[in-house]
Structure formats: C-alpha cells, structure tokens
Structure 1
Amino acid sequence: MIKPKTTKRDTREELESLVDQFIKKNGTIQQINMGESGLIDGKYNMSHIGFNEPKQDRTPLNHVVAAIQQRKQNKTTTTPPIKKRPKKKVIYDDFGDPIRWIWEE
C-alpha cells in the first residue's frame, strides 16, 4: 500500500493542533526577537562561520582558458556542411491521381 503524500495544508493543520495541545497543557510561548536564536550569550557563534582562515591566492589559468576557447573556435570551423537528404515527390496525372513517386534533391 502506498503512503499518501502529506500536503502543506495537512502539515499546517498538524502543527496547529500540536501548538493547541501544548497551550492546553498550560504551556507558554515566549516571543523572541528575530535573530536571537542564533546567538550564544548575545554573540554569534564564530566557530562555524568559516572565515577563520586567511585568504588564499588564486592560481591564474589564463592559458587554460585560451586553449579551451581556441578548441571551440577550431571545432566550429571544421564541421562539414550538412548534406540535404533527397525528398520524395509525387507525380500526378492530368486528373489529379498519383502516378508515381520520384526522388528530388
């Protein structure tokens, strides 16, 4: 049996019912200012931000980029022209009835 997908409406209703149950059991909800939950003792947690290391120098790769662009230019100029395929054409008689097929280039 396939489990039906939960919709946003179902999730919203479930969260509302859980909040209602919490409040009915004399639970209290505290209002917290935006951004406070990410602070530790009023400061940002600097151990996970990732700016602790010094800036690294980048390796210039201009010659690699130039080689790639040169290959792209060579690739577009060396492609052979596209050959047109022959098409079938119907030959009709004077009364509009088909007589035969011919190949036309």
Structure 2
Amino acid sequence: MLKPKTTKKDTRKELESLVDEFIKAKGEIQQVDMGESGLVDGKYNTTHIGFSEPKKQRTPLPHVVAAIQERKHTPAPQKTSTSKRPIKKMLYDDFGEPLRWVWED
C-alpha cells in the first residue's frame, strides 16, 4: 500500500509543532541578521573560495587548436562494412522464372 505524499501544508504544520515543542522545553531562538551566519569572526569564510592563488599563465598551443578546428570541418570517413557476409540471390532463367538460390560474396 502506498503512503500518501506529504504536502507543503503538512510539512509546515510539522515544523511549527517542532518549534513549539522546542520553545516549551525552555529552548531559546536567537535572531541573527541576514548573512551573518555565513561569517566567521565577522568576516566571510574564505577557506573554501578558490581564488587564493594568483592567476597562472596559459601556454599557447596554436597548432593543437588548428588541428582541432581542421578535424571539425573535415567530413568523417564513411563507415564500411567490416564483415563481408555472403548475400543470397535468386537465379532466373531466360524467361524470368526462378531457378535456384545462390550465395554471392
């Protein structure tokens, strides 16, 4: 049997009841300014930001870029059948009547 999906209304009620239980158990809710919880010692936590190293010089590779561009504009080679399987053909007589089947390579 499938459990009914929880709706947003149900989720809100559950959260409200949990907050009420917390307050009744002598819990205290602190109000903080927007964005303050992301600060460490009053500053943004920069340990996870990846801009601590100076910009590195890039090595120019024009021959590699030219080769890639050339491959983009040249058509791909046609795929050929790798397995040559014999083909079954019907042989006809001079009057167009079928005689027999033959296998051709």
> What range is the shorter-chain TM-score in?
0.5 to 0.7
Counterpart for residue 63 of structure 1: 63
The number of aligned residues is: 78
Counterpart for residue 96 of structure 1: none
Is 1:50 matched up with 2:14?
no
Q: Which runs of 5+ in 1 are unaligned?
A: 80-105
Shift of 1:16: 2.4
- 2:52 aligns to what SS in structure 1? coil
Counterpart for residue 29 of structure 2: 29
Shift of 1:8: 5.7
Q: Compared with structure 1, are the counterparts of its residues 12 and 22 closer, same or farther at alpha carbon in structure 2 (3 Å cutoff)?
A: same
Q: Compared with structure 1, are the counterparts of its residues 66 and 49 closer, same or farther at alpha carbon in structure 2 (3 Å cutoff)?
A: same
- 2:75 aligns to what SS in structure 1? helix
Shift of 1:52: 1.9
The residue type paired with residue 74 of structure 1 is T
The sequence identity of aligned pairs, in percent, is 65
Alignment partners' CA distance in 1, 2:42 and 2:52: 20
Q: What's the C-alpha RMSD, in Å, of the aligned pairs?
A: 3.0
Shift of 1:5: 8.4
Q: Compared with structure 1, are the counterparts of its residues 6 and 67 closer, same or farther at alpha carbon in structure 2 (3 Å cutoff)?
A: farther
Q: Compared with structure 1, are the counterparts of its residues 8 and 56 closer, same or farther at alpha carbon in structure 2 (3 Å cutoff)?
A: farther
Structure-to-structure mapping, 1:1-105, within 5 angstroms:
4=3, 7=6, 9=8, 10-75=10-75
Shift of 1:28: 2.1
TM-score using structure 1 length: 0.54
Shift of 1:63: 2.5
Alignment partners' CA distance in 2, 1:8 and 1:51: 42
Q: Compared with structure 1, are the counterparts of its residues 34 and 72 closer, same or farther at alpha carbon in structure 2 (3 Å cutoff)?
A: same
For 1:7-51, what per-residue CA distance to the aligned partner results, in whole angstroms no more than 9, with x for missing partners? 462544432221121122232212111111111221122333232
